[in-house]
Amino acid sequence: MHTVTANGAAIPALGFGTFRVDKADTLRMVPHVLKLGYRHIDTAQIYGNEAEVGEGIANSGVPRGEVFLTTKVWVDKYRHDDFLRSVDDSLAKLRTDHVDLLLLHWPNEAVPLAEQIGALNAVRAAGKVRHIGVSNFSTALMAEAARLSDSPLVTNQVEYHPYLSQKPVLDAARKAGLSVTAYYAMADGKVLTDKVLAGIGARHGKSVAQVVLRWLIQQDGVVALSKTVGETRAAENLAVFDFELSAGEMAAIHALAEPKGRIVSPQGLAPAWD
């Protein structure tokens, strides 16, 4: 699996996401995908499955040092002392002394961004986190976070799929040396019936899901998260490194973007999007 390099981090280009994966499925799937060859696992405090992710990694037989592990601090833990305690709690659940990447999960105007970034830097300085970043940040917030941080940010994790152009975020991230990590790649299943994507898949002997994941990781500086609770689908999602989309096919997928393509925009959390 190839990696995306960003401000000193080498991030496996395809990750296994655990959003809305229940505890039993997390315990089953995490060791399975690691045995398949995945080396990037993404979780978060709010997902409620950090303990199962930690147990799954421990049960996989894959050394911890070979797994790139990401988690995210929830918005109600952004005050400095709460933040530090929450990271210790996450590490205990994950059965590790560090995570490879720690993200602010969503913006929270109730706590000064300088305090949030200060806490991120504090846990990194303490050796509890190798790299830091943000999630669901606009370009303006991303720039301000980078300005406030002593250590470089390495990613902005955002919704990104064929129906949502993230060009402003991508351009700003690349200019600042950050990667963009894409979640909701399948647009909540909408892509699976898309005729353009199906046609491209037919030409390559690949599924629509494989085409979308390939489209993401073929872009400069983009990491893709895949999620499934099926063993067969997990293997299929990993089989995206043996073909390449043409420039025309890439453009055709980009052309599917819609003005109202965004799916995830929770009131009270979402910033003013670009």
Reference 36, options 204, 182, 238; nearest CA is 238
Please, how many CA atoms are within 13 Å of residue 103, restricted to the half-sphere of its CB? 26
Q: Annotated active-site positions, please?
A: 47
Which residue shows structure tokens 């109730």?
Answer: 110
Determine the Cα–Cα distance for residues 25 and 73; give it in Å rounded to an integer: 22
Please, how many CA atoms are within 13 Å of residue 113, restricted to the half-sphere of its CB? 17
Asked if residues 30 and 16 have their Cβ atoms less than 8 Å apart, the reply is yes
106 contacts: CB under 8 Å, gap ≥ 6: 75, 135, 136, 266, 269, 270
160 contacts: CB under 8 Å, gap ≥ 6: 166, 180, 182, 183, 184, 185, 216, 222
Reference 103, options 76, 129, 68, 140; nearest CA is 129
Asked if residues 245 and 215 have their Cβ atoms less than 8 Å apart, the reply is yes
Write out the two tokens for 17: 């996401």
Q: Is 254 annotated as a binding residue?
A: no
Reference 6, options 136, 226, 170, 237; nearest CA is 170
Asked if residues 101 and 131 have their Cβ atoms less than 8 Å apart, the reply is yes
Annotated binding site for substrate: 105
Q: Give the residue numbers of the binding site.
A: 105
